[in-house]
Amino acid sequence: MMVDFNSVDFLPWLVPVGPLLAFLIISLATNRAKPEPASSLVYGGFRPPYGDLGVPVATSWSRILSITVGISGVVMSLLVSWRLVFTATATKDFGEVVFGSSVDWLSLGSLPAFQMGVLVDPLNSAMLFMVPLAVLCIFIYSIGYMAHDPRQSRFFALISLFAGAMLTLVVADNLLLLFVGWEVMGLCSYLLIGFWYEKDTAYKAAIKAFTTTRVADVLMLLGIAYLYAETGTLSFREILYNPAVLEALAGKEALLFGGFGLSAAGLIGIFLVIGTIGKSAQFPLHLWLPDAMQGPTPVSAMIHAAAMVSAGIYAILRMYPVFAAGGDPHHGIFTAPLLLMAVVGAFTALFAATMAVAQNDVKAVLAYSTISQLGFMMAALGIGAYIAAAFHLITHAFFKALLFMASGSVIHAMEHGEHHAHEHHAPAHGIGGGADPHDAHSHDAHAEHGHDAHHDAHDSHAFDPQDMRNMGGLDKKIPVTYWTFLAGGLSLAGFPLITAGFWSKDEILADAWLGTTEGFGPHALVFVMLAVAAFMTAFYTMRQIGLTFKGEARTEPAQHAGLGGQYDIISQTMQLPLIILTPFALFAGFVGVPKDFPIFGSIFASEHNPFKYFVIESLHPVLHFEAPAFNWFPVLVSFAVALGGIYLGYRMYWVKPLKAGEEDPMIKILGGDLYTTLQRRYYMDELYVLLFVQPSQWISRQVNEFVDKGIIDSVLHGIARFFTWVGDLTKVLNAWLIDGVGDGIPRWIFQAGGWLRGAQTGKVQQYLLVVLIAAVVIGVIFALTAGAVTAQ
Amino acid sequence: MAGFSILSAIVFIPIIAGVLLLFMNPKQRDLIRGVAITAAAVMLALSAVVFFSFNNLIADRGGYQQETFYTEGDKLQIDASIGESAGTALYAEALRYEERIPWLTSLGIYYHMGVDGLTAPMILLTGMVTVAGVLISWNITDRQREFYAFFMLLVAGVYGVFMAVDIFVLFFFYELAIFPMYLLIAGWGWVKLREYASMKLTLYILIGSVVALVGILALYFTAAEFFQGEGAPILTAAIESELLPADSQPFSFSMVQLTLAAENGAFDIPFLGDVTLAKFWFPFIFIGFAVLAGVFPFHNWSPDGHVAAPTAVSMIHAGVLMKLGAYAALRTGVQLMPEAAQVHLPWIVFLTLINVVYGALIAFRQRDFKYVIGFSSVSHMGLVSMGWATMNLTGMTGAGLQMFSHGAMTALFFGCVGMVYDRAHTRDIPSLGGFIKKMPWVGFAFIVGGLTSMGMPGLSGFMAEFPIFQGMWEASENVVLRIGLFELTNYYTILVILAALGIVITAAYVLRVTSQVFFGEFNAEKYPEVGDIAIQDRVILLLLGTPLVILGIYPAIMAPMISTGLMPILQLLSGGM
């Protein structure tokens, strides 16, 4: 096989190479640190009691080189990916024709060799457009956001690996390679959520994220193993673009629950869906995602938008033909995995939205909104709205990446303000004390920043820069952040016609409505749940923007909030990505306008819905379905829920902004108990501790103490005691019998000697008598044994 | 056979080095270390030669395909006069570097060595762990000379078992390994536990092996009787076609000859009522050896033994010695009694499942760093036996990979624990913390090991576990458990789901230990001596860590080799069906 990287068939191999190489280069070469006393200012804001212990702090040249290497890697991916995407859009019959190549990777015995390869088809073309762009923005943002972190080089190594894993997953042509990327991302999320591992909460959150997704992952792995055992291949094209294989899978009874009419495809599908439920944080495995905000904000953007959670939905999109095998959601025939997705997705969408309403942490609102929006996609896939889900995945990634980075910028500004406030009122406070105020101003603020979530750990007055109640009036302090946040927020809220979020959500609702009119239960459920969730989305987004940016500053830090000057490199690198992403958050929706949508359809989709027309070709023609005809009802519903929610939020939080010391009006409306319940996430963390953590600890304690030490070791020790006792017994016997005999024999001989002396009478008759008796005895014994021998 | 024979060199270098060490001046520590490390390095180099040239030998045959394996090679032309011999022929053909020297010919005992695809990776693993073990004992001050001498004898025993083709020789080396192990633990172990643990370990293993020995002797005599009677023409034909050497007699401990007997039904004679000889003895032989692999409920010697042993011995013990058990159970149990395996493995698999979950659960509870690793070995070795129980190529290849992967991984773990303990003087997990700051190499290596053990793709653990799970799915429809009238089918799927949950528990305890020992806050006052590791420690970490990554990314370096080693056994199993 000639490797020719000018050919588009080989080019996909290069997509993940840049970031992976960057990871290696940074971790092996450019990540250099010199030890600094932990009490030194350069050692970040969160300062554990290390005293003057030397801790490694990245040197400036190491930072610059690592950043350069990291960004170059992503730029390389971006260029290769976009080249592929543009070639793909220009290729005739793309979908039937795909770009890809593979190599023999492993062969066992007589089984056909396992092919490891890459593939670009319409579905992942869309991903290849979005992922590198969002990732590049996140990288640029990290230059500023992590500028004063002692481990910035390491950070760039890890997010490069993260990006490389995501891109590997996207270009994989088989489920095994996809799973490799999937798991490596899980690992990166663990390392990055726990990046500030000195913080108790951070590494606990990291463990929680990792173990929760791990539970789902092993089940997914079983699904993969089952699929491989059934079909002998894991290649997407061979399984998914092959109706014969799908039919066979759908026709075969599953090894488990086969009696209930579950097909092999159904069981495999359920396993794979469970994997996504974990990775994309769907109910009931959603708890890790809000905690994951303990990581630095760029990581949150990475997890929530560009990479990890999107990967879950992408995997389902990828494997969709397996889920749909044997069913047809467009005609009301649902398979088990589809139903599972519809129910879980719809429920999660609404459930998470209710929790988002009552959060005060600016990042927490976004975290719950991510869970909710992923629920939208999951539900859409459950009812067969394949295109709508893919579309929402892309638009959501853009506006959610924007929102996360903008919220990081808000937090940064608040921390900045806090230090400013300190200088005026508490000059002796903490580490800034005594330094030149001008110098300390910028220095301290940045040293502090980044360790956002854990301020209270070392701050005497426990100021939380993420708490929206402490904010207010930031629109005038950080206008760029405000306007970009607003753009992202409106897109999330689905503001009609001009935002991307509207078009993608509308399409999901349109599909759900079509099924509802035909009387399919799951469609109706999805439609109702998602409409309500969309309303709440619009509301909590407006609440968030209102609380953060509107009204007057409620605290002193908010009064002094700022990003540190217009020409500051930090300020610039943090705002540039926001500006890049804003147009995508607003206008990316126009690629997916339905053809017969009034006015817009004729502008943006004169021939056909471009996104749909392109992406649907990922599926085998057998699976193609017609777009729903234009219907006013779902569009009006979209309008109503978005505008209704926005209006309500506007009334409550914009018209009468919260004043300092005032209580959130929500508490009055919902009542304290309900409000607290929502805020505490329905107490599910506590419930899980009660249901899973404590019982598993109890079981392991019992196994350890009762079974292992109690039964098995006791039996062993019992046996040992028994043998010791037997040994003692033998010893006694030995003393009494053997020794008795042993000692007795000489004594007996001695005595017998004395007796024999008496017997030696010298009388021949007596001797003869003895000989005779002896001869008789011997003769009898001989006769008996000989008889026995002959008898045999 | 004349000239330089690489297998004998590997076995005798440690014996010679061990004896040499005993006669050296204990004060010349550098010389002692030098001899030990030279011997270990030579062994590793020779082992690597065996492993990598083995790969070439297979590759020369024109690929790894089963078809080519059957058609190529004259011995594989199955001659009708030898009766059923396809499996035996495959086995004989799979052996490389054979050496055969008469020893006690009247009993049919030959010093007969050889490696096949299954054992070649184990040879390499033993070499790696030996070097690591010598290096990590670099600074032992207490009777270092004797320590290294016994260590060398132990290694010789381990090598011998993997190479033996003659079961008597296998037993000989098996017992040879146990004896120095006892001395090493009792003499250099952790003072609080060493007497108890060394006694427990030795008794468990000895009793297990004695039980197995009785079974093997039963097979030996039965086979001899068979070849003297109805099997005599088969023996003659086998000698004529060069399947067996010309001086073969009915009495023989040769695995090849015993396999031939097994394949022709010599062991399927009635023994106790309806139960055939093989079906009666299989559990004794299989479990007798599997005791050393830590099979439930005979696992309890292992964590205690690991904890009590000095680091080097823990490494070789968990890394290699436990594999001896799994290997011998397969080689003697399944290979000689394939039909019985199909009857018994379907219930033994439950024990292996218990191993996996139970070991992980207990590991989760431990406060002692070393006990965590000890119980994790119990858990992971369960996966090896589970792989044997799939009785198909995928699952068993996975088990073979798991033997290597777990060996390197657990040795790495024990190395890390030892390095932490040497500096902190405690293994109490809650009182450690933040060690990655002071020992970044160890922290990183431990994380790599941890990720391997929890089955992270890209590392070897995944490449071992995935085939085992897949093999379980494949086996599900074929395996039937019959106890009297009771019949159970299709239950492997449920077992594999439960086993997979064991992997989740693994992730939980690995993360728990990692976070508590390496992350969190470092207490500088409490651990003033903690500093970074020495150069020889880095060599250990690299030596044991690198294969985990290589095998994870490119399993083709080992997996096809292992599967050729398993082909004869699979042929026997399918022939028996």
Cα A682 → chain centroid: 21
Q: How confident is the model at residue B55 (pLDDT cuts 50, 70, 90)?
A: low
> If we measure between CA atoms, which residue out of B71, B117, B124 comes closest to residue B91?
B117
Tokens of B134: 């010598």
Distance CA(A104)–CA(A107), nearest Å, equals 8
Residue B272: its pLDDT value, please? 76
Tokens of A20: 């992976």
Is 60 exceeded by the pLDDT of residue A151? Answer: yes
Is 80 exceeded by the pLDDT of residue A522? Answer: yes
Tokens of B418: 């030892």
Residues of chain B contacting residue A174, judged by C-beta atoms under 8 Å apart? none
Stated length of chain B = 577
Is 50 exceeded by the pLDDT of residue A792? Answer: no
Residue A39: its pLDDT value, please? 61
Instruction: Write the pLDDT tens digit of every residue in B364-415.
Output: 888 888 888 888 888 899 999 999 988 888 889 999 999 999 999 999 999 9
In terms of Cβ atoms closer than 10 Å to its own Cβ (0-12, 13-18, 19+), residue B29 is: middle
Average pLDDT over residues A490-502: 86
Residue A361: its pLDDT value, please? 85
Whether A219 sits inside 8 A of B497 (CB atoms) is yes
CA distance A703 to chain B (A): 7
- When mean pLDDT is compared over A68-72, A757-761, B90-94, B437-441, the highest value belongs to A68-72
Who has greater pLDDT, B118 or B55? B118
Distance CA(A637)–CA(A642), nearest Å, equals 8
Q: How confident is the model at residue B567 (pLDDT cuts 50, 70, 90)?
A: confident
Residue A695: its pLDDT value, please? 81
Distance CA(A277)–CA(A434), nearest Å, equals 52
Whether B503 sits inside 8 A of A218 (CB atoms) is yes
> If we measure between CA atoms, which residue out of B228, B360, B207 comes closest to residue B287?
B207
- When mean pLDDT is compared over A344-353, A473-482, A562-571, the highest value belongs to A344-353
Planar angle of CA A773, A775, A779, nearest 5 degrees? 120
Instruction: Write the pLDDT tens digit of every residue in A733-765.
Output: 777 777 777 777 777 777 877 776 666 666 667
Whether A197 sits inside 8 A of B520 (CB atoms) is yes
Average pLDDT over residues A138-164: 86
Distance CA(B342)–CA(B557), nearest Å, equals 30
> If we measure between CA atoms, which residue out of B394, B390, B435, B391 comes closest to residue B417?
B435
Whether A108 sits inside 8 A of B362 (CB atoms) is no
Is 50 exceeded by the pLDDT of residue B3? Answer: no
How many other C-beta atoms can be found within 10 angstroms of the C-beta atom of residue B365? 19
Cα distances from A268 to residues A223, A224, A255, in angstroms, run: 5, 7, 10
Residue A577: its pLDDT value, please? 87
The whole-model pTM stands at 0.83
Given the structure tokens 């793909």, which residue do they identify?
A: A88
Tokens of B4: 């330089």
Among B residues 349-378, those touching chain A with beta carbons less than 8 Å apart: 358, 361-362, 364-366
CA distance B573 to chain A (A): 15
CA distance A208 to chain B (A): 9
Phi, psi of B223 (to 5 degrees): -65, -40
Closest alpha carbon within chain B to A110: B66
Average pLDDT over residues A424-449: 40
The partner residue sitting opposite B507, judged by closest CB among A49, A197, A210, is: A210
Residue A762: its pLDDT value, please? 61
Average pLDDT over residues B62-70: 36
Q: How confident is the model at residue B71 (pLDDT cuts 50, 70, 90)?
A: very low
CA distance A368 to chain B (A): 25
Residue B68: its pLDDT value, please? 34
| DSSP state letter for A263 | B
Cβ neighbors of A280 (< 8 A, separation 6 or more) are A309, A310, A311, A312, A313, A374, A377, A378
> If we measure between CA atoms, which residue out of A183, A166, A698 comes closest to residue B454?
A183
Residue B508: its pLDDT value, please? 84
Is 90 exceeded by the pLDDT of residue B126? Answer: yes
Closest alpha carbon within chain B to A105: B556
Please give the sequence-ordered ranges of beta strands (E in DSSP) within B380-490, or none if there are none: 480-483, 486-489
Residue A752: its pLDDT value, please? 77
Distance CA(B401)–CA(A106), nearest Å, equals 13
> If we measure between CA atoms, which residue out of A140, A186, A408, A493 comes closest to residue A309?
A186
Residue A455: its pLDDT value, please? 40
Whether B500 sits inside 8 A of A713 (CB atoms) is no
Between A119-128, A315-324, A540-549, A591-600, the lowest mean confidence (pLDDT) is in A591-600
Average pLDDT over residues B182-193: 84
Residue A430: its pLDDT value, please? 37
How many other C-beta atoms can be found within 10 angstroms of the C-beta atom of residue A333? 13
Tokens of A775: 């001869």
The partner residue sitting opposite A221, judged by closest CB among B469, B507, B556, is: B469
Residue B49: its pLDDT value, please? 87
Q: How confident is the model at residue A419 (pLDDT cuts 50, 70, 90)?
A: confident
Question: Is B70 an interface residue toward A (CB < 8 Å)?
Answer: no
Distance CA(A527)–CA(A522), nearest Å, equals 8
Residues of chain B contacting residue A712, judged by C-beta atoms under 8 Å apart? 297, 300
How many other C-beta atoms can be found within 10 angstroms of the C-beta atom of residue A36? 18
Is 60 exceeded by the pLDDT of residue B78? Answer: no
b (16+ CB within 10 A) / e for B478-499 = ebebeeeeeeeeebbbebbbeb
Average pLDDT over residues A276-289: 85
Is 70 exceeded by the pLDDT of residue A53? Answer: no
Distance CA(B163)–CA(A437), nearest Å, equals 75
Instruction: Write the pLDDT tens digit of every residue in B425-477.
Output: 888 888 887 787 778 888 889 989 998 988 888 889 888 888 898 888 888 87
Instruction: Write the pLDDT tens digit of every residue in A568-596.
Output: 777 888 888 888 888 888 888 888 888 77
Q: How confident is the model at residue A43 (pLDDT cuts 50, 70, 90)?
A: low
DSSP string, B155-222: HHHHHHHHHB-BHHHHHHHHHHHHHHHHHHHHHHS-TTTHHHHHHHHHHHHHHHHHHHHHHHHHHHHH
Phi, psi of A155 (to 5 degrees): -60, -45
Residue A160: its pLDDT value, please? 92
Mean pLDDT, chain B, integer: 83
Distance CA(A95)–CA(A624), nearest Å, equals 12
CA distance A280 to chain B (A): 18
Residues of chain A contacting residue B362, judged by C-beta atoms under 8 Å apart? 700, 703-704, 708
Is 70 exceeded by the pLDDT of residue B330? Answer: yes
Instruction: Write the pLDDT tens digit of every residue in B8-39.
Output: 888 889 998 888 888 888 788 888 888 889 99
Residue A75: its pLDDT value, please? 92
b (16+ CB within 10 A) / e for A658-671 = beeeeebebeeebe
Amino acid, single-letter form, for residue B356: V
Whether B563 sits inside 8 A of A55 (CB atoms) is no
Residue A292: its pLDDT value, please? 82
The partner residue sitting opposite A179, judged by closest CB among B457, B469, B555, is: B457
Cβ neighbors of A669 (< 8 A, separation 6 or more) are none
The partner residue sitting opposite A228, judged by closest CB among B300, B470, B503, is: B470
Instruction: Write the pLDDT tens digit of every residue in B499-516.
Output: 888 888 888 888 888 888
Between A442-456, B141-155, B367-381, the lowest mean confidence (pLDDT) is in A442-456
Q: How many distinct helices (H) and strands (E) make up chain A?
A: 33, 4
Rounded percentage of chain A residues whose pLDDT exceeds 90:
5
| DSSP state letter for A235 | B
Closest alpha carbon within chain B to A49: B521
Is 60 exceeded by the pLDDT of residue A426? Answer: no
Residue A42: its pLDDT value, please? 56
Secondary structure element (H or E) that encloses residue A102, with its range: strand A99-106
